[in-house]
Structure 1
């Protein structure tokens, strides 16, 4: 039964807020379009604004059209919904907006590549001088980047790029130089576009704080801004509301869903003396809470801090990759200097520069990686960059969060065991349980009702249902009192003795199942076993990971130990850690890494985000919380666990392609270098063979990595379509 400890006033009617002009342009049931001049501001981060609007209760999707200065919102069809959305729009002032930095506006354009292709197609019919001028203009940006590299005191790949195109251009090979520049630009364009597509602004994906909270004051409750809460305040949270603070329950009882924080798939009861976590959802009941942590000190805020710290540590990989590329510059410059000193022949020097090692090494690996990412996307896997591919291929330990990854996160009935089979056989007992439980919205109740419907068990008569929040239900049937709930409720509070059935109960618990107890007339009536649905491909996925070289499988969960160990034994996990909090998961991953393991972590909830950021590679399920997807290196766009094994196999293949292409590039270009340095290869021949070999390597990488089919591209497009901006919790 849901109840309020303190009578709260009705919310005031929506009223226009000053400062932000919003005009309703069009409206129909469940949808509105409003003119909002504020969305036309220069460099406005519209993604962030969409998330602000999407946090409004009842809003399912938001789309902003800056050109038309309009906002389109789809919302629930209910009384007051439209007014609530308009009030939300009017409440968003300029101080709450985010603006993109100047460098974030530098979106990669395909236009320069198109210009180079057009030039190469027309260069033969252009007057020589005009062709030279146009070609020089096209090459100028790359040459200037090389010059800036030298002026900054660094010898980087940009310098070699500039020399590669400059030498060819100065010797009259403007077409060859532009071709080289086109190939380099294509690789850079593919990489930049892919990285921008997969990137997310992490800080905006956090579980949003409520706009307001109910503060207990002078015997009543007043609604106050969230950021005014202080330590020691007493707040009230009721059915359907999120807890605004970490604190201690002072009064009342409630059924609380903590899945977004602890990963526990079944709601827990909170009573006086229990701790309660900010961000958890009150499913039933009402509690008064003493605030022990507020604002930046709450659990969700600490999770955000952990994510930021973990992500900062990961930048070392980028620096190592850049240093490797820079070393190729010194190698090529050294070889060119030796050639010039030995031969004094500028023609040979030009040939050597045109067969440099850096070009195929620089382009072959990124294109192979991007082709691999395209192939992965076609299989429902979004990989956030080549760094993630490399690291996933090195992983030797896979760590899984249980709820929502190994399981679907939804309970199902596995056992219906009558303890009075003569008068109450299985189907009759299940029908009674379903008839009573249909009055509840608890996950256990939904599972029992669904099972009874599937069995067509019927609907027996019963009396009024009384709810004991967090414990169970009470009614009458066949002239006797019926109790349904936990063993603690039936035995300790109601005196029904189940000890005679301990062997059967222990067997079910040891098998990883949770139990619902039934009694009638003070006697045990039956047991109903439930568990999360194990994904059909879970066992096969574990087998494939081991075949791909993964040596250790670990499961982490907030679930109770008995259930977790049952799942772990069934799937062959090496280690199982249960009853965990967010900090525990992070600690376990850090310990594995300190022991020398390369760790991949698969999770889906807000509580998993720190672990996803800490792991060498984080993977997030398709139905995971937005914050989990933001922190992950790999997102599974389809709700399919087998995609985890696909991702590992795809990354293994990518690294084989990169390794073999690098070997072939070094071998072939070494042969070209020898030919160029002894004068057996002209600059034109060097350019043709070098560029031809580079193109061949790129095509080989694309062909070996694979590209998505037409059907796969359509599926990717659907996956990229605008989603509800509401933050998911499980």
Structure 2
């Protein structure tokens, strides 16, 4: 698009009344100063998340120190107008402020002050320099003393000793430079850790401020908190869906990427479900609200993400304990260097190199980065412990229906036993004409298949149902029976023995059979199967490639059908004709045998197994109780997400392991160099902190992370 500089200037004057000033703009990017960013304790992450909900926005970066925000977008006039409207309309009640006990954003100002002190070091009187340096390093020294008194020997004590040694030797410039290097390293480390957490928090979709509710006089805008279950909510193009509900009017193309990770928009028509947080790309809909407020999908995901940030895995806890033990080793090496050389400079250099920081920080950064990467792909992992357990699982147990299959029947074969009188299409039309009067899943599958074939309805008499067996009706003066073999043979006396080979073949292929007879004679068989998910085979292959030793399938189906499914997918164990309580028993037997079990299910009766497994995985369409009991919830309705989750967790554990090895190697080399007097304190601090930050950044990007654009739009 062409960029109108004069229009931008006019709009800058208008925005100034709202405390907003555009300081720089190019097509697709603008930077503005906003007065409210100067408010104390402002939660800038929450504000940035609000800006990201603007359709067309790609990235948002807030610099509270400079009270400015930089926004990149798709470059369209409409998006730019929406951004400027949101900036100028920003109200205090939309802002969130941190509680006193919440950690503030890391500030670069102390580091900038130390840089200025070093730059003007020779211009100031020595007495003044000494006073300023002592004031500058005193927070670190006091923090070290406080740590010694309350927590024992920690990294903070090493840092305090390192800067204190420089000051005691009268080398104040070295002391403040060393403090600068450590402060800069801490700033970068804290920023990196917050970035790994914000990758998750950025995925939270804030609730809209208002919603449009249909009333007798037309649509009325009300505060979001006043939306109630049963309200008809009107949502237009470019707006976010505020509730979970059912479309009752209109049609729209809906982007659900921020919730399910699926980047392809889906159409929504009357009768379809729709979830909060979805974006209406085109069209408009009227939605009957079923879940509002904290009950919506978006709110539940937000709560899960917040809780997951607080959960720490055994790997993280062990890393922290191991890191704390390394402090004693550093003190020992420093003491040895001092005894051998009597050189306080070397001692200061040794104290500036420690194993604790990279080991302690690498694990949580890798965990948060992995959680963010999986959320972006429609997979919610409930914290570090679940990542660790999923990576360790050696046995994956699948409940067949709703996981390996879609849980809906479809006709896979129509077999005519009297082709001259009843060819396949006419046979299917006959079944569809009678089954359309039933709401049974088998009946719906038959009618759907007939519709696909463009069937012609056959006139018939009243349809009589024998519940659990089948149906009967009169067609063209003949009695027609459709149902189970027991109904047709055992109750009605129709003989199918002459077609045993066909029946056995279809059953062996895992098909459920519908038997059809006309005038007391067998005329056809319809084979139905619970539709296998298209990515089921690939999922099994990927899981085996990820080191899963055993694949187990559980099913309530008859053994013949279950065995056919299991053999087709290559499962090691197949358990059929199970009752709900049998699933839990089988899981416990596997665990008693030393297996580490991941269970994948979706039904309410799967909740006990999901909770008892080492790690439970719930499908996207699963019952609420199943999703609550699971350690991992798939928001995208595809079984391949199970393999995605396992591979991501494996990668997280590899990152933690390799980073720990790299930290040990790098810092061991730095220890040797510092002990040998080859590293000045400033250089030691710079190399140690630089390598730590490099490892943390590596953990983020090796996790596959660059937050996807779909979550920033």
TM-score, length of structure 1 as denominator length: 0.60
- Which of 592, 596, 599 is equivalent to 2:597? 599
Give the corresponding residue for 1:493: 491
Q: Which residue of 1 aligns with 2:478?
A: 480
Secondary structure at 2:151 match in 1: helix
Partners of 1:481 and 1:346 lie apart in 2 by: 105
Aligned pairs for 1:36-55 (under 5 A) are: none
In the alignment, what sits opposite 1:455?
453
Q: What's the CA shift for 1:136?
A: 5.8
What is the aligned partner in structure 2 of residue 202 from structure 1? none
- Between the aligned partners of 2:353 and 2:458, the Cα distance in structure 1 is 84
Shift of residue 180 of structure 1?
Answer: 3.8
Shift in CA distance, 338/558, structure 1 to aligned 2, threshold 3 Å: farther
Change (3 A) 1:529 1:197: farther
Distance 1:626 1:429, change over 3 A: same
Q: Contact (CA 8 Å) 1:352, 1:673: kept in 2 or not?
A: yes
Give the Cα–Cα distance (whole angstroms) in 1 for the partners of residues 423 and 565 of structure 2. 29
Superimposed CA distance per residue, residues 49-76 of structure 1 (whole angstroms, 9 cap, x where no aligned partner): xxxxxxxxxxxxxxxxxxxxxxxxxxxx
Is the Cα–Cα contact under 8 Å of residues 510 and 565 in structure 2 kept in the other structure?
Answer: yes
Report the CA distance between 1:494 and its aligned residue: 2.8
8 Å CA contact 1:412–1:530 kept in 2: the answer is: yes
C-alpha deviation, 1:514, in angstroms: 0.9
Contact 1:194–1:385 (CA<8 Å) still a contact in 2? no
The 2-side partners of 1:139 and 1:627 are apart by 52
Secondary structure, counterpart of 1:470 in structure 2: coil
Task: State the shift of 1:406 in Å.
Answer: 1.0
Q: Which residue of 2 aligns with 1:629?
A: 627
SS at match of 2:459: coil
Q: Pick the aligned partner of 1:693 from 675, 691, 694.
A: 691
- From the superposition, tell whether residues 544 and 315 of structure 1 become closer, same or farther in structure 2 (CA, over 3 Å): closer
The aligned residue for residue 119 of structure 1 is 110
Deviations 1:386-438 (A, max 9, x none): 33333333333222221111111111101111223222221112112112211
* Aligned partners of 2:313 and 2:384 also within 8 Å: no
- The C-alpha deviation readout for 1:343-394, integer Å capped at 9, x for no partner, is 5554433322321001111122332333333333333333333333333333
Contact 2:584 2:609 in 1 (8 A): yes
> Of 674, 677, 693, which residue of structure 1 is paired with 2:675?
677
Question: How do residues 86-165 of structure 1 correspond to structure 2 at under 5 angstroms?
Answer: 111-113=104-106, 115=107, 117-125=108-116, 147-150=149-152, 159-161=154-156, 163-164=158-159
Task: Give 1:403's aligned residue.
Answer: 401
Could you tell me how far 1:679 is from its partner in structure 2?
2.7
Change (3 A) 1:484 1:164: farther
Give the Cα separation in 2 of the matches to 1:163 and 1:419. Answer: 87
Q: Secondary structure at the match of 1:440?
A: coil
- Structure 1 residue 337: Cα displacement: 4.2
Paired with 2:606 and 2:333, the residues of 1 have a C-alpha distance of 50
Aligned match of 1:332: 330
* Deviation of 1:443 (Å): 1.2
Change (3 A) 1:325 1:438: farther
Q: Do the aligned partners of residues 358 and 393 (structure 1) sit closer, same or farther apart at CA in structure 2, a change above 3 Å counting?
A: same
SS at match of 2:679: coil
Q: Output aligned runs, 1:219-234, within 5 Å.
A: none
Q: Which residue of 2 aligns with 1:573?
A: 571
**Residues 690/322 of structure 1: CA separation in 2 closer, same or farther (3 Å cut):** closer
> Secondary structure of 2:595's match?
coil
Aligned in 2, Cα 1:692/1:316: closer, same or farther, shift over 3 Å? Answer: closer
Task: Report the Cα distance in structure 2 between the residues aligned to 1:513 and 1:143, rounded to whole angstroms.
Answer: 74
Q: Measure, in 1, the Cα distance between the counterparts of 2:392 and 2:433.
A: 53
Q: C-alpha separation between the residues in 2 aligned to 1:195 and 1:139?
A: 35
Number of the residue aligned with 1:277:
none
**Any idea what the Cα deviations from partners look like across 1:208-227, whole Å, max 9, x if unmatched?**
xxxxxxxxxxxxxxxxxxxx
What do the CA deviations read for 1:507-530 (whole angstroms, capped 9, x no partner)?
Answer: 222211111122223332321111
Cα contact 1:603–1:612 (8 A) shared by 2: yes
Instruction: Kindly indicate whether residue 190 of structure 2 is the aligned counterpart of residue 185 of structure 1.
Output: yes
In structure 1, which of residues 614, 617, 621 is the aligned counterpart of residue 615 of structure 2? 617
Larger radius of gyration: 2
User: How far 1:611 sits from its partner (Å)?
Assistant: 2.7
Q: Which residue of 2 aligns with 1:26?
A: none
Structure 1 partner of 2:285: none
Q: Is the 8 A contact 1:471 1:485 kept in 2?
A: yes
- Offset at residue 672 of structure 1 (A): 0.8
SS in 2 for 1:112: coil
Q: Does the 8 Å CA contact 2:314/2:385 hold for their aligned counterparts?
A: no
> Is residue 606–residue 627 contact of structure 1 (8 Å, CA) maintained in 2?
yes
Q: Retained in 2: the 8 A contact 1:582–1:610?
A: no
Query: Residues 132-281 of structure 1: matches in 2 within 5 Å?
Result: 147-150=149-152, 159-161=154-156, 163-164=158-159, 167-168=162-163, 171-172=175-176, 173-186=178-191, 189=194
User: Relative to 1, partners in 2 of residues 1:657 and 1:192: Cα closer, same or farther, differing over 3 Å?
Assistant: closer
Alignment deviations for residues 625-681 of structure 1 (CA, whole Å, 9 cap, x no partner)? 333333333333322222322333333333333222222211110111112223322
User: What SS does the corresponding residue of 1:416 show, helix, strand or coil?
Assistant: strand
Equivalent position SS for 1:124:
helix
Kindly state the Cα deviation for residue 531 of structure 1 after the two structures are TM-superposed. 0.6
* Partner residue, 2:515: 517
Q: CA deviation at 1:701?
A: 2.6
Q: Which residue of 1 aligns with 2:545?
A: 547
Task: Decide whether the 8 Å contact of 1:332 with 1:358 is kept in 2.
Answer: no
Change (3 A) 1:326 1:391: farther
Q: Is the 8 A contact 2:363 2:656 kept in 1?
A: yes
Rounded to whole Å, the distance in 1 between the matches of 2:503 and 2:683 is 81
Q: Work out which of the residue numbers 372, 397, 417 in structure 1 matches 2:370.
A: 372
Q: Aligned pair 1:562/2:560, yes or no?
A: yes
Post-superposition shift, 1:145? 6.1
Give the 3 Å change call, closer, same or farther, for CA 334–560 of structure 1 in structure 2. Answer: farther
Does structure 1 retain, via aligned residues, the 8 Å contact 2:485–2:515?
yes
CA distance in 2, matches of 1:193, 1:107: 19
Aligned residues: 488
How do residues 699-710 of structure 1 correspond to structure 2 at under 5 angstroms? Answer: 699-708=697-706
Q: Distance in 2 between matches of 1:388 and 1:459?
A: 54
Q: Give the SS at the match of 1:527.
A: strand
Cα pair 2:670 2:684 within 8 Å, conserved: yes
Question: By how many angstroms is 1:683 displaced?
Answer: 1.8
Q: Distance in 2 between matches of 1:510 and 1:364?
A: 52
Task: Give, in whole Å, the separation in 2 of the partners of 1:146 and 1:581.
Answer: 59
* Alignment check: 8 A CA contact 2:620 2:633 kept: yes
**Is residue 640 from structure 1 mapped to residue 633 from structure 2 by the alignment?**
no
Cα distance per residue 1:178-234 (max 9 Å; x no partner): 3343345346545666788999xxxxxxxxxxxxxxxxxxxxxxxxxxxxxxxxxxx
* Alignment correspondent of 1:221: none
CA distance in 2, matches of 1:553, 1:106: 50
| Structure 1 residues 514-559: Cα deviation after superposition (integer angstroms, max 9, x where no partner) | 1112222333232111111111121122222222322221112233
Contact 2:323 2:355 in 1 (8 A): no
User: Would the aligned equivalents of 1:198 and 1:384 in 2 still touch at CA under 8 Å?
Assistant: no
Q: Distance in 2 between matches of 1:665 and 1:571?
A: 43
Contact 1:123/1:175, CA 8 A, preserved across alignment: yes
Deviation sequence 1:671-698 (CA, Å, 0-9, x none): 1111222332222111100011112222
| Residues 1:451 and 1:178: Cα distance change in structure 2 (over 3 Å) | same
